[in-house]
Amino acid sequence: MTYYVGIDVGSTTSKAVVLGDEGGAEAYSILRNSYNLAESGRKAFQMALDKKGLSENDISYIVATGYGRRTIDFQHEVEPEVICHARGTVELIPACRTIIDIGGQDSKIIELDDKGVKRFQMNDKCAAGTGRYLDKLAKGILEIEIEQLGDLSLRSSNPIHISSQCTVFAESEIISYLSRSEPIQNIVAGMHYSLARRVIQMGKAANIKFKKDVVFSGGVARNTGMVKAIENLLGEQVIIPEEPQLTAALGVALMAREGFLKRGVS
């Protein structure tokens, strides 16, 4: 058996996927990053190998992607993350035509056609359009854990409206609502709708039409409140992969396997 590995070193997590000669993932890992991205990528790689009982010598080809892809010094090549997200998502959901990917430090909208990526828009500059927005408001203002947000949001009957486009000013709005004893579930739901609007508007500004099937990936896709907000604003259901953080790692692993076989690397 020949094995291939794709590593996605993101801004907040590193992921690795091991593939064999055919079929889907043989093993995978998801690891919260330390300050050292190279070390985090290496650990994610080793964790995935350990799950399969493999050593580095068993791997024929390694390709990296993501924010920290160039910190990895043991890969054979690197690939752009947008292409990898598209490749992995289509492998899982072949009818996908739009990807909404929201991670800890960035967000992406990717439009696909039969040939691959048609257009995309990415935000990696402002926290207000990323998972960092929810994390900062939850822990810094509401003093609750990020894992609590989804359930709280689903209990809301009247989400508040947050008008500010900046996380700092959004904090002031939320403090004002808290001073008026607004139920916390309405505040949390308002946070989700605020983030969802920013991300959707980012895509529309790039003329992305959000055609079906729409797939929601990234760590924030685990948040049921965000899923509901996006679905309500788009007016249609979105699909969540079983492991929404792994799409780019799967995509780059598939590219590693395809590249190895195509080039006849030995």
**Structure confidence by residue, pLDDT tens digits, 188-233:** 999 999 999 999 999 999 999 999 999 999 999 999 999 999 999 9
Using CA atoms of 61, 47, 37, 107 in order, give the dihedral in degrees to the nearest 10. 90
Written as six digits, the tokens of 51 are 């799950």
Contact 30, 224 (CB under 8 A): no
Task: Quote the pLDDT of residue 58.
Answer: 96
In the chain, what are the helix, strand and coil shares in percent, each to the nearest 5?
A: 45, 20, 30
Average pLDDT, the chain: 94
Task: Quote the pLDDT of residue 126.
Answer: 73
What's the rounded Cα separation, in Å, for the pair 51 and 233? 40
73-to-28, 56, 68 alpha-carbon distances in Å: 20, 13, 11
> Mean pLDDT throughout 54-79?
95
Instruction: Mean pLDDT check: name the lowest of 167-176, 207-216, 229-238, 239-248.
Output: 167-176
The ranges assigned to domains in the chain are 3-87+246-263, 95-240
Residue 264: strand, helix, or coil: coil
Task: Indicate if the pLDDT at residue 266 is higher than 60.
Answer: no
Task: Quote the pLDDT of residue 264.
Answer: 66
Superfamily of domain 3-87+246-263 in CATH is ATPase, nucleotide binding domain (3.30.420.40)
Question: What number of other Cβ atoms are within 10 A of residue 198's Cβ?
Answer: 18
What's the rounded Cα separation, in Å, for the pair 190 and 156? 9
Instruction: Mean pLDDT check: name the lowest of 28-42, 184-198, 251-265.
Output: 251-265
More confident residue, 93 or 123: 93
Instruction: Mean pLDDT check: name the lowest of 105-109, 189-193, 246-250.
Output: 105-109
CATH topology assigned to domain 95-240: Nucleotidyltransferase; domain 5 (3.30.420)
> Mean pLDDT throughout 51-66?
96
Query: CB neighbours of 115 closer than 8 A, spacing ≥ 6?
Result: none
Task: Indicate if the pLDDT at residue 16 is higher than 50.
Answer: yes
Task: Quote the pLDDT of residue 219.
Answer: 93
Task: Indicate if the pLDDT at residue 123 is higher than 90.
Answer: no
Fold match between 3-87+246-263 and 95-240? yes
Task: Quote the pLDDT of residue 214.
Answer: 98
